[in-house]
Amino acid sequence: MITTVLRHALRARGDEPAVLCHSGAGTLRELSGLPRNAGDRTVDLGAHPLGEPIPIGVEGATDDEREPVAGLVALVAATPTDLHRALTAAVHLPKAVQVVVALLDTPGHQDPPVPAGPGMGQWRDLQELRVRRVGRRGWVCEFFFPNPVESAPVLDAVLHGTRGRRRGPSVAPLAALNGAEASLWRPGDTGVHGVEQGGPVPLRRVTPVADLALRVGDGAAAVDWADEKVPVLDRVTTGTDSWEGLAGEHGRERAAGLIVSAAADPVSLIAPIDETTVNPTGFGKAEKGPLGHLTLNGDRAVVRDGKKDLIEVAADGTVTDVDLAGIRHLRGVRIDWTGHTGPTAAVRAVASLAAGGVPLVAEPVPGWAAGLGTTLIDAIEGATEADLTDRLAREEHSVRLRRAALRTHGLRSRWRGLAAETGIPLPPEPRVSVILCTRRPDMVGFALAQIARQRGVALETVLTLHGFPADLPEVASAIDAYRETGLPIVVHEASAERIFGSVLNDSVARASGDLIAKWDDDDWYGPEHLADLVLARTYSGAELVGTGQDFVYLQEVDLMVWRSRESETATRFIAGGTILTDRVVLEETGGFRPLPRAIDTQLLIAVSRGGGRVHRTHGLGYVLRRTGGGHTWSEDMAYFLHNYARQWSGWRPSSLLEGEPVPLGRPVDGGEPAVTATYPGGSA
């Protein structure tokens, strides 16, 4: 199918040259046997060195001053991860009147690549657009323009189509790249510029087009950098530190004892993980599945189940989204530390598996793998194979791994680190405004204690007292204790007659954060709850994120239920007390409806109706409390006992909750606050 499409495209382009690109394993063969003209070019766009133009036309022909134009630009990518990487080098592609993008395979959780125009009128003359499925999960997109258009934005539109309306947080600073494997450091960014090894960074009028330059080479002495305004950093390719180069002919056998020294932080030397495609989306309950092994087959690393190789890891350590989908049935992967081509590639492979939420176990991590970072190393060494056979312990281990890998090796984290290394100032991370609305004075200290222990995010709290004043003794003491933590808080008193949805909108209006998180006053939240939601917002690209109601404490019968619902997936329902969204999303959806109940459900419906996506991340850091009444979601106890995975008598949350904080302020009746007051504004 793909070859047929390309043959027709080559016939239709007339006498103009064609640029036939490929990216990822097995894609070059899709271009073999095609009819070519003398001026056509075949390019491995996933490995093309940044800063090297892609010439078209017949060599030796007389140049003119016109910008080169291709009759056809085609790209065959193995996976969306490979397409994302190829986008970076696509800045070197010429304009074209016909563009073909083919994806050989996609993970099952992604949408079809239905592209949207760039929005500045560039595609007003678009004549025809075709999107066709190839096989079970492949796609071909064909574009026909009467006049030449930039090729890179067309490729970008195809990839964007697989992720929905929202792109997610941008990567800063603006970058200029040079050299082989430079695309590994900035996948998916069509705003980068390729530069010559010595610079300088080009100007747009009087302003450099980038704030930081990165050169990726073979370790040889780099030429002097000629740009005084834009700092430069140097990194080496993943093949530079091969085992043989580091430890001689028998380097693999001596790898376990090898320590690779570096003056810089070893983590900063590792090319980042593309979290927009390599992430835990699609994680499954597979505690009864086989145990895979990351080991060596010939000169390539593979993940093997028995005698069957499930995936072959690229030589640079890249693991794709399709690779992750192919090993989701495994209960985990055991790491063989003597595998892969060298330390850097091995670290990237392990970090990618961890970022994907794949449960990993291993012998002690060798010294040469210090580039993993201490947090990820501790997480890998913190579990045994026995943990992988227990559903809860396996998922807890997966969450610890994905947290460590994405925060240490994620694309945005790495570039913020590179900016800090060169002294480039960046905007602060987004601030979270926690919206806490309560009718229960006796629960204020409990709820504020849950917020006060959040870590890994910048936050403020907007506390709305719905129908009672702030000068009640138990309320005032709780607020004072919270202020002593140094965290900002805004206190708002709303009259009891105000409808709950309107009160929430009043709270949002008083918030100053970029993100809005809804908080219930009687539920329990782990200290990483907000940080996990912000992380999920980054890798999912969803307009709204939250968790499921996995853990439910039935207070009347002193019973903890774990329902073990599907996580890391697009969904129509999340727990209302875990909603996190951008302020602009609330503006686009009209905010919370002025209703006394079902507020959260109505917001989820509005987001979906507007074309947005809702992503449900893991629910292990949240416990929903159910009492005899007083909840807007009035399901009886049988609802929560239906189809549960596990239950315990008494209090038994996930270990990720990390215990219970002591309520702030004066204790109520000398102990834990009781939950007895009627509250028509709880979880919806």
| Per-residue model confidence (pLDDT) at position 260 | 44
Tell me the whole-structure pTM to 2 decimals.
0.93
Residues 393 and 490 placed together within one structural domain of the fold = no
Residues 355 and 469 placed together within one structural domain of the fold = no
| Per-residue model confidence (pLDDT) at position 162 | 86
Q: Give, in degrees to the nearest 5, the angle at Cα 409 between 404 and 412.
A: 115
Give residue 26's pLDDT band: very low, low, confident or very high (50, 70, 90): very high
Which residues are paired to 551 by β-bridges? 562, 623
Residues 441 and 510 placed together within one structural domain of the fold = yes
Is the pLDDT at 259 greater than 50? The verdict is no
For the segment 563-568, the average pLDDT, to the nearest whole number, is 92
| Per-residue model confidence (pLDDT) at position 627 | 82
Determine the 3-state secondary structure of 459 from DSSP. Answer: strand
Is the pLDDT at 674 greater than 70? The verdict is no
Domain membership of residue 599 (yes or no) is: yes
Residue 508 makes CB contacts below 8 A (sequence gap 6+) with: 433, 435, 462, 516, 583, 586, 591, 592
> Residue for token digits 């992720």?
163
Residue 9: which CATH number?
3.40.50
- Tens-digit pLDDT profile for residues 188-238: 999 999 999 999 999 999 999 999 999 999 888 889 999 999 999 999 999
Is the pLDDT at 142 greater than 70? The verdict is yes
Contact yes or no for 157/112 (Cβ under 8 A): no
Domain membership of residue 543 (yes or no) is: yes
- Tens-digit pLDDT profile for residues 364-399: 999 999 999 999 999 999 999 999 999 999 999 999
- Tens-digit pLDDT profile for residues 45-87: 999 999 999 988 765 555 555 678 999 999 999 999 999 999 9
CA distances to 53, 136, 432, 488 from 440, in Å: 66, 54, 24, 21
Domain membership of residue 237 (yes or no) is: no
Contacts 24+ apart (CB under 8 A), 666-671: 666/445, 666/473, 666/474, 666/477, 666/478, 667/445, 668/442, 668/445, 668/474
The structure tokens listed for 30 are: 């899709």
* CA pair distance 523, 515, nearest whole angstrom: 21
* CA pair distance 679, 384, nearest whole angstrom: 44
Residues 436 and 398 placed together within one structural domain of the fold = no
Number of Cβ within 10 Å of residue 62's Cβ equals 6
For the segment 85-98, the average pLDDT, to the nearest whole number, is 96
Q: Is the peptide bond before 173 cis (omega within 30 degrees of 0)?
A: yes
Percent of the chain, pLDDT > 70?
91
| Per-residue model confidence (pLDDT) at position 284 | 93
Give residue 642's pLDDT band: very low, low, confident or very high (50, 70, 90): confident
Is the pLDDT at 249 greater than 70? The verdict is no
| Per-residue model confidence (pLDDT) at position 684 | 36
Count of H helices and E strands in the chain? 17, 31
Pairing of strands 291-297, 332-335: parallel
* Mean pLDDT for all residues in the chain: 90
Which residues are paired to 293 by β-bridges? 304, 334
| Per-residue model confidence (pLDDT) at position 682 | 37
Count of structural domains within the chain: 3
| Per-residue model confidence (pLDDT) at position 65 | 55
| Per-residue model confidence (pLDDT) at position 1 | 85
Residues 13 and 157 placed together within one structural domain of the fold = yes
The structure tokens listed for 608 are: 């979906």
Residues 503 and 357 placed together within one structural domain of the fold = no
Domain membership of residue 636 (yes or no) is: yes
State which amino acid sits at residue 150. E
Domain membership of residue 485 (yes or no) is: yes
> Which range (47-61, 286-300, 347-361) has the least confidence?
47-61
Residues 369 and 294 placed together within one structural domain of the fold = yes
Residues 20 and 85 placed together within one structural domain of the fold = yes
| Per-residue model confidence (pLDDT) at position 272 | 97
Burial of residue 364, with CB atoms counted within 10 A of its CB: 0-12 exposed, 13-18 middle, 19 or more buried: exposed
Contact yes or no for 76/22 (Cβ under 8 A): yes
Domain membership of residue 646 (yes or no) is: yes
Element (H, E) at 50: none
Residues 626 and 497 placed together within one structural domain of the fold = yes
| Per-residue model confidence (pLDDT) at position 636 | 67
| Per-residue model confidence (pLDDT) at position 119 | 80
Q: What backbone torsions phi and psi does residue 393 show, to the nearest 5 degrees? A: -65, -35
More confident residue, 338 or 126: 126
Domain membership of residue 413 (yes or no) is: no
Residues 560 and 615 placed together within one structural domain of the fold = yes
For CA atoms 170, 191, 279, 353, give the dihedral sign.
Answer: negative
Residue range(s) defining the domain that contains residue 511? 431-657
Q: What backbone torsions phi and psi does residue 387 show, to the nearest 5 degrees? A: -65, -30
* CA pair distance 161, 13, nearest whole angstrom: 26
H-state helical runs in 576-622: 583-589, 599-609
Residues 114 and 155 placed together within one structural domain of the fold = yes
| Per-residue model confidence (pLDDT) at position 492 | 95
| Per-residue model confidence (pLDDT) at position 250 | 52
> Which range (27-36, 415-424, 621-630) has the least confidence?
621-630
For the segment 423-451, the average pLDDT, to the nearest whole number, is 96
Is the pLDDT at 263 greater than 60? The verdict is no
> What is the per-residue burial (b if ≥16 Cβ within 10 Å, else e) of 410-421?
bbbbbbbebbee
Residue 542: which CATH number?
3.90.550.10
Domain membership of residue 178 (yes or no) is: no
| Per-residue model confidence (pLDDT) at position 68 | 84
| Per-residue model confidence (pLDDT) at position 632 | 45
Is the pLDDT at 557 greater than 60? The verdict is yes
Most distant CA pair in the chain, distance: 91
| Per-residue model confidence (pLDDT) at position 247 | 57
Percent of the chain, pLDDT > 90?
79
| Per-residue model confidence (pLDDT) at position 143 | 97
| Per-residue model confidence (pLDDT) at position 257 | 43
Residues 561 and 500 placed together within one structural domain of the fold = yes
